[in-house]
Amino acid sequence: MADHLHPEPVALAAYADGVLHREQAGLFALTQSQVRAQLVGSRWRRWGAHVVILHNGPPTRRQFMWVALLDAGWPAALVAHTSLELAGFRSFATEQELIHLVMPRGARTTSYEWLRVHESRRVRPPEQVLIDGMPATPTAQSAIDAAAWQPYPRFAWALVAAVVQQRLVTPAELDEALRTVGRVRHKAVLRAAVADLRAGGTTTGEADVVRMCRRFGLQLPHRQVPRRDGAGGLRFLDAEWVLFGGERIVLEVDGSHHMEVAQWQADLRRERGIVVSGARVLRTSNMEIRLNPQAVAADLVAAGVPRVIGPTCQIPQAL
């Protein structure tokens, strides 16, 4: 077990945040009689069977985290959304309002409405880290866990992309976490998302467009069509259809990196240049074309892209 995760230093960190496990009172030159006197005098407040907060006011969020950790006992750790929160993640998920704790299967802890406990046979203390002073699962593993707990695949994809964009982990770290995580929900989607992130979102879209067209019976587009932008630079369009009469429809497939502000602004300039040249531009994302290709196909048909004989899958009429 890593020395910096030994229970005694963790207890010291909790005490610095105003939370105490009663059995560790001796570490701080406190007797059990002194602790009881503070509780009887309502100067301190008891939480669960073992934990005391060293004041009688509303606990802070960090103190709630310590209550969960100390009450569950070693080797419990903060996990998923809560571990990401400690790392600085700005989440879009309501699950972050809860405190997520992982502990060995069969262990017991106090139940609270603000606490979600995850039991696991794979709690490995040597692999835990300290994040902002608290025992937690590593950020890459936490991102995979949080994504796997999302209700929809598109949320899982968006979450891992956001963690990378906020510079908390690298795609390579996510890839390594996926190799060791075992069976989790949305794993195939997460592999595709990480591949997109590792490639910078530049290599998977073209193949997905071709696959979508063949599946739904659309005419195959011209791919990687060279065009000059307003400054004279050479740009390549992801997919272009030239209709009867010369009208052009362009489909731009955005990878995860297109969500970043600088790239988004560059994309807006690029799109204006394409529109000025006389083309109609439709945009999608690698995530949508992987997870909801029928919607993209339906929009292309509505825009005028021709159908061909022999689709392997029909576009729903409602679309």
Helices and strands counted in the chain (H then E)? 12, 12
Side chain identity at residue 184, one-letter code: V
Question: Cα 56–60–63 angle (5° rounding)?
Answer: 85
The residue whose two tokens read 């419990």 is 76
Name beta bridge partners: 104.
120
Spans in the chain with pLDDT lower than 70: 1-7, 92-96, 199-206, 224-236, 255-278, 309-319
Structure-block tokens of residue 65: 């985290």
For residue 304, how far is the Cα from the chain centroid? 36
**For residue 74, what pLDDT is reported?**
84
**For residue 271, what pLDDT is reported?**
47
The residue whose two tokens read 């945040």 is 17
Structure-block tokens of residue 42: 């309502």
User: Is residue 243 classed exposed, middle or buried when 0-12, 13-18 and 19+ CB atoms within 10 A define those classes?
Assistant: middle
**For residue 117, what pLDDT is reported?**
93
**Rounded to an integer, what distance in angstroms lies between the CA atom of residue 61 and that of residue 284?**
39
**For residue 105, what pLDDT is reported?**
86
**For residue 231, what pLDDT is reported?**
53
Start-to-end C-alpha separation, the chain:
56
* 257 C-beta neighbours (distance < 10 Å), count: 18
Closest CA to 159 of 202, 193, 182, 136: 193
**For residue 202, what pLDDT is reported?**
46
Structure-block tokens of residue 297: 């196909």
User: Is residue 246 classed exposed, middle or buried when 0-12, 13-18 and 19+ CB atoms within 10 A define those classes?
Assistant: exposed
Question: Cα 288–290–291 angle (5° rounding)?
Answer: 65
Pairing, β 279-285 against β 248-254? parallel
